[in-house]
Amino acid sequence: MGKDGSGAPVGRRVVLGMLGLGAAGVAAGGYLQNGLDNLLASVTAKDPTGLSGLLPGGQGFRFYSVADSIPHRSAADYRLTVDGLVDRPTTYTLERLQAMPRTRLVRDVQCVTGWRVPHYAFTGVRLADLLAAVGVRPEAKALRFTCFDGVYSESLTLDQAGRPDMLVAYEMDDKPVTAAHGGPVRLYAAPMYFYKSAKWLSGITLTDRVQPGYWEHYGYDVDAWVGRSNGRTDVPTS
């Protein structure tokens, strides 16, 4: 092998050095990412190409879906069914939802994977108003949300659903909710991690107990308060 196989073990040093850097990054990464987020936010604001938005920690929504494709439903075809333990099971059109009292909330959006979008506006009908309209039977304890992507589901307790910051939203950023964001109508659970805010909402069923939703079968907390669940300590959003 001659002198090609002799000399300083630089390869081993590089590997060990990277392990050391990796460990240092794990220890310091939380603080570094905060600083980088601020830096990237200012870079992204002046970046006409939009490429900086692809860097880790860039501001903005990321698209998560568990379904095969983005389901599309037009405003005219959209229906929301409210049934289960209610006095008057009802199917709502988008028009009928929009005719109900409007509520506009501006809050931070916090994903359980770490990204956060500051000061974002959601507009829609308070879940409490919708429940009052259909009449909740005394034995009802929880809500189960189903979606027209055919896969996703979510849940809230009746007490949680009664909060004034729980919306059935048809506008984001004062524009109709797009298909990618879960339009025409999605849930917006302001005080909770964003996986609770089910996209493509098509059904609300009142049940006698909480039936955990899609991600909750994979270990996420059912009571997903921002900053007080899923082992995270984010600043509360509502």
Partner 1 sequence: MSQPPEALRRFTTAERWIHRTTAVLMGIALITAAFLYLPALAELVGRRRLLVTVHEWTGLLLPLPLLAGLAFRAVRADLRRLNRFNTHDRRWLSAALRYRTVPRPVPAGKFNAGQKLYAALVAGAVLVMLGTGLMMWFTHLAPLVWRTGATFVHDWLALVIAILVLGHIWMAAHDPEARRGMRTGWVARAWARREHPLWEKESPGGEPHP
List interacting residues with partner 1 (CB under 8 A). Answer: 1-12, 14-19, 21-22, 25-30, 32-33, 54-57, 61-70, 113-114, 149, 180, 218-219, 231-233
Q: Which residue, 52 or 90, has its beta carbon nearer to partner 1?
A: 52
Q: By C-alpha distance, which of 215, 210, 209, 211 is closest to 197?
A: 215
Least separation, in Å, of the C-beta of 14 and partner 1? 4
User: Cβ(123)–Cβ(171) under 8 Å?
Assistant: yes
Least separation, in Å, of the C-beta of 71 and partner 1? 9
User: Cβ(195)–Cβ(62) under 8 Å?
Assistant: no
Q: By C-alpha distance, which of 169, 151, 45 is closest to 103?
A: 169
Q: Which residue, 1 or 45, has its beta carbon nearer to partner 1?
A: 1
Least separation, in Å, of the C-beta of 32 and partner 1? 6
Instruction: Give the span between the Cα atoms of 50 and 116, in whole angstroms.
Output: 18
Q: What angle do CA 197, 207, 135 make, to 5 degrees?
A: 90
Instruction: Give the span between the Cα atoms of 117 and 109, in whole angstroms.
Output: 5
Least separation, in Å, of the C-beta of 216 and partner 1? 13
Least separation, in Å, of the C-beta of 68 and partner 1? 6
Instruction: Give the span between the Cα atoms of 125 and 112, in whole angstroms.
Output: 25
